[in-house]
Amino acid sequence: MAKSSKPLLWLPFAAGGLIAAFAVPALILLTGVLLPLGLVHLPYAKVAAGLHNPFIKLIVLGLVVLPAWHAAHRLRMTAHDLGLGSGIAVKAVCYGFAWLVIVGCVVALLMV
């Protein structure tokens, strides 16, 4: 059997799906519901100080990059299923938007 690099390419897709399914809803609940209702107290100063830790930056990067890559691949496959083709234009739009999100996240984390 010939060796393939597909498992390495599927790893970020699967990890992004896992994060999108488990971590993102928890973060939405925390920051979108519990914090505004005052049920959880999370001081801004502690969050800002935490973002200076490189390990925390790496976690935030993973929380953004992996779901963005997962979404790009899902959108590309959906476009293919809808008959929009799987040409270079569809790939460029789907993966290009994911790269914009990834680069924006990296830049934002480097500025903190």
Report CA 65 to chain centroid distance, whole Å: 4
Over the stretch 57-106, which tens digit does the pLDDT of each residue have? 999 999 999 999 999 989 988 998 888 877 888 889 989 999 999 999 99
User: Dihedral of CA 109/107/105/69: which sign?
Assistant: negative
Over the stretch 10-31, which tens digit does the pLDDT of each residue have? 888 899 999 999 999 999 999 8
What are the Cα distances from residue 77, in Å, to 36, 70, 92? 36, 11, 13
| Confidence (pTM) | 0.81
